[in-house]
Structure 1
Amino acid sequence: MHFTVVSTIFIVTLPIFTRGVPVSIGQQDGPIVGHNELTSAKLKIVKAEHPTGEHIVVVKDITHLGDVMKLVPDNMRESLSKLEDINGFAGKFTPEVLDKFLSNPNVKRVSEDGYMDYDTVTEQSNAPWNLVRLNVKGPVTNTTPHVYKYDPSAGSCADVYVIDSGINIHHDEFKHGTATRAHWGTTIGTYAPGTENTDPDGHGTGMAGIIAGKTHGVAKLANVYAVKIGGRRDAPPTDPSRATGRKAIQGVEWARKRAVRDENSQRRSIISMSIGMGASLDLDEAVLKAIAHGVHVVASAGNGAKIPGQDVKVGIDASTRSPGRVQSVITVGALTQSNHRLTWSNFGE
């Protein structure tokens, strides 16, 4: 994964190189867990950090997806989610059906789907020193109002797909004259009536503001597109609105297809994911396909993990998190104003 200096509202994010998933997963040293392409041994289910109860089935590239999907009973097939970019599908399966997948030589991998976490930032209402940090090397020590120097056309050539909780596309921060630079892209999943095309959590709107907001945004003329894959962070564990790996894969696929559709426009396409989960080969593969089609992917390094028995988070190795662990992803950590890594920011080499 690549780390590049990117700004947040209260903190400055600093990219750091980490060990991660190679640009081509096939070049990875050692066997891939759950991969039976070279052996007749029965597969084992790849475990998720926080399982949802659903599973993702990835089929070998040489096999037609429908051949394996026929193993699913007719009454269960309508609820399946197709994941074209990784040649797979997701759903809730009985132990008997899962066993069929694990024994089938055409199946590459069976993984538990997992819940994802929003990676948060703190917003400062004035004196955005973090933007100034993009102009200088080292700490920003002056506590007086700062001057942020930037190209007035910054972002005018870019479309950024924010895979998150949605965006308040009517926010004043995204208005440019009579037009708006924030657009609703797509909604993936089930949400409470009236919230399908909104951002009740606010996380996605905050991230879009860092990217392209008039006040705190880095690329102030970029277009941002909401790709909603989750609802509120405080939703109950079983709430269907929660962000999951399967939804993230579908979000990456949607953004990739739209970017490819518009590739003749000469605009640059970027996927932003301030959201993450435990290591997921399925999500990693979807991200790699987007990158292979010329889409830049930026992901947060993550907000660390809680110390057992304490309500305190400390940073952990970012190579344990998807999609930030992918080497060709621009993975972003966090700095304080004094140029030190925030204690809860994940890190790498």
Structure 2
Amino acid sequence: MNFKLGDFVRFVDEKREGYITRIIDNLTVGVTDTDGFEIPVALSNLTHVHGHSSAAVTQVSNQPQAIVATEEFRNTGIFLAVAEDHKASAVVHFTLINSTSYQLLLTLATDKKGAYRGEFASQIQPKTAQQIYSANLADIEIWPEFIFQVLCFTPANLKPKSPIEIVKKFKAKDFNGAKKEVKEINKYAWLLQLDEPVPLIDAQKLKESFFRGTSAKQEVKVPGSEISLHIEKLRDDHQFLTQSEIINIQLAHFQQTLDAAIVHQLPSIIFIHGVGNGTLRHHIHKVISKHPQVKTFMDARKEKFGFGATEVVFKNSL
């Protein structure tokens, strides 16, 4: 019996169910039960639960899904959407979205430290979407390198398009940005365009840059005296972000503002991080406690913020 990431399964020898969230080896998988614990289980000890196949769990199966077509021939628009599983959020599914007018001949291979494996090969019709791969997001550091190869075919009277080959090694930062609503799969997902046009180089601007000298510096805005790190102040789409995405966005904004305050030689600055579970406060204190430009730091205005804000005093202050 074939099992895939995201499949809902039942244990044969005990009353327990869950979703497959990890492929350990050819004989063993990790199953996350209703309590949120992942348990290694032999494939021989599992059975599918009727009505809970992978196609039922995910909104885009391995069968092509039609996208509303347009009459105008579309030359570009090959996207890779990476979305969390509808039920097993630890699992992400890779969906190839072909919004072009071409018929695509697609192959996906993976390279894990020199060990190559063909993962997917198929024809993908124009204006369709097809799931091509699944993985555990927590294992991103050990994900293989992805090799996408695409041929574009059309019977129309058009000059043949050059083959596309993209080699991609995903990193955690690739999933720090906001997910976008992808109507083709009816989910929010991270999007990567595989046929993104190469930007044209303006020869005149390039020539001017050679003679501009090193005096031109990037403008850094002066930050305010109180900086809110609450996610609703930073992102309009915060309700669609995971906890790890939120903390990464908050820390990036904190670091950017801290650097700006140092550049403009501010005497001090207050970061409003809230109380919560203390994770953001812990990370902020860890950074500023070792920063060479920080003189000291303390809880800021407890009568107003309680323990939800930190004031940073810089060494250049009087």
- Provide the TM-score with structure 2 as the length reference: 0.23
Which structure's relative contact order is higher, taking Cα pairs within 8 Å and 6+ residues apart?
A: 1
Mark the structure with the bigger radius of gyration. 2
1 or 2, which has the higher strand percentage? 2
